[in-house]
Structure 1
Amino acid sequence: MQTTEPFAIVGMPRTGTHYLEELLNAHPNVSSNGELLNPYDPIWPDRARLLRSDRELLELAYLHHPTMTGNPHLTHVGCKINQPQFNERPGFFETLAAWPRLKVLLVIRRNTLESFRSLVQARQSGQWLKYGPDNDDSRPPPQVMLKIEDCEAYFKAADDFHHLILSSFSPSSVLTIDYETLRDDPASSLKAVSAFLGISNHPCSENTSLRRQEVRSLRQTVLNFEELRRHFEGSRYDSFFEAQGG
């Protein structure tokens, strides 16, 4: 029987889900155990687990999770799943949605173009996360060219995914978290998450070793920014191209 409360952190790639997980794991009653469906996640070294059924995988995450032993104060256990991982494992979402008492933390980045830009940068550089001090002088991520059709497909995938989450769970079981608020005011986001999960508002540190990889504007990092801006002008996505400095 499940003695802890389950939750899942979900979102499109590059929307701050890892940062949220690190902040939550500073709470003494919470353990979020990485990307369950990622074969390279260091928390889950046994890649053979992915050969298990969807139900067995979730039992592994919520009933036999890695940090259960040695923490008698644990009350909430979670994992992180990004949208492409659901696509790679058809049927898994339906099994997750049926899990008893599940709470869902949906992280949304206001500008989906920034999410896609960051994803392409990470694919090109091979650097998915950055750790270190604030004065780290490592090179910035590469500038990128984004195809119009790829942007259209990604924007639609984000819209569809957010709709799927919000329509598949009751309103009381989903908390939408704004990426920009999480980044700029993590204390207020953590307060909302604590109330949603039903845990104490623990004074978690807002500082982690995780660092932002890109601080430049879209205009400075997307080589064909003007081409994209002209294409999407007047569309439902034209706001993604507003107020870009540089």
Structure 2
Amino acid sequence: MTQSTLSPEPFAILAMPRTGTHYLEECLNEHPNVLSNGELLNTYDTNWPDQERLLLSDRELLERAFMRYPLRSDKKVMHVGCKINEPQFQERPGFFAELAAWPGLKIILVIRRNTLESLRSFVQARQTRQWLKFDSDNAAPPPPVTLSFATCEAYFKAADDFHARVVNAVDSSKIHLIEYERLLRDPHACMATILDFLGAPAMQLSDRGILRRQEMRPLDQTVRNFHELRVHFAHGPYASYFELGKELAPFV
């Protein structure tokens, strides 16, 4: 069954890959009035039963997301959304502009302070084809990766450009910034600010989340050529990404 009457208020979660959006969406979907339907532009996302939706025009696809979305019987949906990661916009060049112009759209922009962590996690997930880790998953951590200077440079610039594009495309009152690190450290406070931004009633999280971080080791143990990269980027704008910090909480 899909929604065909008056549409709820739309929102989109935008981010670079591997920035905790699955965990954020898991928290959002605990709310009885909020429904986030996964990655709209991902052919394999099981939230969407119709892969042929990606053959629709950009406008028709957004109507599918915000007006004819899959229903859940346990919700009275007042706020409906989806997730889109930066590389997915590259596959549909006109989609970002169509999304940004959608009436009443609110954007939750998730940023990971250390973009190198995002890249490392992205490469690990692509190599292992393991994108999520759950409570019951006792698998070994993913193997370390080797990253080229060019790959890092391109990814860092893509993240900077994407964040700037989002901020410049939409009125500031329609954007809510969430830091990955704060989401992991204090999900209750982050969710309170997001629900207030959406205009949804406050709700206490259940703490029953099942997603976990796949990688808990520091960068110098998960990037084989970390020290070589640190020397290369030492005097540029990305030097801070190579400063080893404290471990985060054990989620996503």
1:234, CA displacement in angstroms?
1.2
Which of these residues, 10, 18, 22, is aligned with residue 26 of structure 2? Answer: 22
Are the structure 2 counterparts of residues 9 and 190 from structure 1 closer, same or farther at C-alpha, using a change threshold of 3 Å?
Answer: same
Deviation at 1:73, TM superposition (A): 2.1
Establish whether residue 127 from structure 1 lines up as the match of residue 98 from structure 2. no
Q: CA deviation at 1:207?
A: 3.5
CA contact (8 A) 1:109 1:115 kept: yes
Find 2:79's aligned residue among 62, 72, 76.
76
CA distance in 2, matches of 1:112, 1:125: 20
**Separation in structure 1 between the aligned mates of residue 164 and residue 208 of structure 2, nearest angstrom:** 32
Instruction: Sort the Cα spacing of 1:211 and 1:203 in 2 relative to 1 into closer, same or farther, 3 A.
Output: same
| Structure 2: tracts of 5 or more residues without a match | 248-252
| Cα distance in 1 between the residues matched to 2:162 and 2:75 | 36
Question: Which amino acid counterpart does residue 203 of structure 1 have in structure 2?
Answer: Q
Q: State the distance in 2 between where 1:30 and 1:72 align.
A: 8
* Alpha-carbon distance, 1:71 to partner: 5.3
Tell me the secondary structure at the aligned position of residue 50 of structure 1. helix
> Does the CA contact (< 8 Å) of 2:218 and 2:244 recur in 1?
no
CA drift of 1:142 comes to: 1.0
Which residue of structure 2 aligns with residue 100 of structure 1? 103
TM-score by length of 2: 0.93
| 1:186/1:206 contact within 8 Å kept | no
Letter of the 1:33 partner, please give it.
N
Q: What residue is the counterpart of 2:200 in the other structure?
A: 199
- Measure the CA separation in 2 of the matches of 1:124 and 1:177: 28
Q: How does 1:7-86 map to 2 (within 5 A)?
A: 7-67=11-71, 70=73, 73-86=76-89
How far does residue 159 in structure 1 lie from its aligned partner after superposition? 0.1
Cα displacement string for residues 168-193 of structure 1 (whole angstroms, at most 9, x for unaligned residues): 00010000001000011101100110
- What percentage of aligned pairs have identical amino acids? 58
Tell me: CA distance 1:109–1:245, structure 2 relative to 1, closer, same or farther (3 Å). Answer: closer
Q: Deviations over 1:199-230 (max 9, x none)?
A: 11111223311111000000010000011000
Q: Secondary structure at the match of 1:64?
A: coil
User: Is the contact made by 2:54 and 2:61 (CA closer than 8 Å) also made in structure 1?
Assistant: yes
Q: Which residue of 2 aligns with 1:180?
A: 181
Alpha-carbon displacement from aligned partner over 1:122-166 (angstroms, at most 9, x marks no partner): 011110011124xx5311011000011000000000000000000
SS in 1 for 2:23: helix
Query: What is residue 209 of structure 1 aligned with on the other side?
Result: 210
Secondary structure of the residue that 1:27 maps to in structure 2?
A: coil
Query: RMSD of aligned C-alpha atoms?
Result: 1.5
**Alpha-carbon separation, structure 2, partners of 1:87 and 1:240:** 25
CA distance in 2, matches of 1:208, 1:71: 18
Cα shift at 1:45: 2.7
Once the two structures are TM-superposed, the CA of residue 2 in structure 1 deviates from its matched residue by: 4.3
Structure 1 residues without counterparts, runs of 5 or longer:
none
Q: Which string of whole-angstrom CA distances, capped at 9 and with x for unpartnered residues, describes residues 80-105 of structure 1?
A: 00000001111000110110000000
Residue 91 (structure 2) aligned to one of 88, 91, 101: 88
What residue identity is the alignment partner of 2:65? Answer: A
3-state SS of the aligned residue for 2:43? coil
